[in-house]
């Protein structure tokens, strides 16, 4: 059962002896710094129509604070996912699980004659993603704020069941669409990708084929940059892939 299992798996694997030191709200990203020095990020998702579950997550044990990822106050949920990623997305864990350093979520993936769905506009500006997709049978981009050629994200109910390869942005974990997207894509090869993706091996048991996430390697420069601009965190991190 996918519904709440995604969050339950993440919460169950968190350490008991680590606390949240800082929460930083950037323009595009929310970051969490833990008292063990690790840092994680999640896509900043606006939305405070309901009250927060916690007045503040700073100072709390991560096992308590990370429950904010389940909040319907979406700014608080961004904080919760950043805390979860600070726990899972560390260099030490990547080495322990044998994760591969990679620059592309599609590395080594066969695209010929396949129907591909992207949940989130993750096409590269240089056109390299479109070039890779030339051999695909068809491909679709589903986006909450559609650009030219994108489908609205509500089209997922109709498009994802006919795809045999689906890439889902990790930010779907913040807005709670992740469980339904995983259900719609069951039977397809599923890749979760982006800085918000927790590199947690147990998630692969939900029918996910690949986790493609990021480990923050330069915390203070990254925190300064996300406060200053709407930017990516690529320059301050390393991309890792974990396959089922």
Each residue of 3-48: pLDDT tens digit?
689 999 999 999 999 999 999 999 999 999 999 999 999 999 988 8
Q: Is residue 231 in some structural domain?
A: no
Q: Is residue 89 in some structural domain?
A: no
Q: Is residue 235 in some structural domain?
A: no
Report the b/e string of 114-153 with b at 16+ CB within 10 A: bbbbbbbebbeeeeebeebbeebeebbbbbbeeeeebbeb
Q: Is residue 161 in some structural domain?
A: yes
Instruction: Report the CATH number at residue 175.
Output: 3.40.50.11590
Q: Is residue 68 in some structural domain?
A: no
Helix (H, G, I), strand (E, B) or coil at 236: helix
Is this model's pTM higher than 0.75 or not?
yes
> Does the pLDDT at position 176 exceed 70?
yes
d(CA 228, CA 206): 37
Q: Is residue 26 in some structural domain?
A: no
User: Whole-number mean pLDDT of the chain?
Assistant: 93
Q: Is residue 93 in some structural domain?
A: no
Domain that holds residue 146: 102-213
The residue whose two tokens read 């930010």 is 171
pLDDT tens digits, 203-215 = 999 999 999 999 9
Q: Is residue 232 in some structural domain?
A: no
Please give the tally of structural domains in the chain: 1
């Amino acid at each position: 059962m996918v519904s709440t299992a995604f969050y339950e798996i993440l919460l169950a694997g968190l350490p008991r002896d680590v606390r949240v030191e800082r929460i930083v709200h950037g323009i595009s990203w929310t970051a969490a710094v833990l008292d063990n020095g690790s840092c994680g990020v999640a896509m900043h998702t606006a939305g405070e129509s309901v009250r927060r579950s916690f007045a503040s997550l700073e100072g709390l044990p991560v096992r308590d604070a990370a429950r904010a990822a389940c909040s319907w106050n979406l700014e608080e949920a961004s904080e919760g996912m950043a805390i979860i990623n600070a726990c899972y997305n560390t260099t030490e864990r990547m080495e322990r699980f044998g994760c591969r350093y990679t620059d592309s979520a599609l590395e080594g993936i066969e695209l010929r004659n396949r129907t591909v769905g992207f949940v989130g506009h993750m096409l590269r500006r240089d056109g390299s993603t479109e070039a890779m997709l030339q051999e695909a049978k068809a491909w679709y981009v589903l986006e909450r704020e559609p650009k030219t050629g994108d489908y609205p994200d509500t089209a997922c109910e109709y498009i994802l069941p006919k795809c045999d390869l689906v890439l889902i942005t990790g930010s779907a974990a913040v807005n709670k669409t992740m469980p339904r997207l995983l259900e719609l894509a069951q039977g397809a090869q599923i890749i979760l990708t982006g800085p918000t993706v927790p590199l947690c091996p147990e998630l692969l048991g939900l029918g996910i084929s690949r986790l493609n996430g990021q480990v923050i390697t330069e915390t203070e420069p990254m925190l300064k940059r996300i406060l200053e601009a709407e930017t990516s965190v690529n320059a301050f991190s390393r991309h890792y892939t974990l396959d089922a």
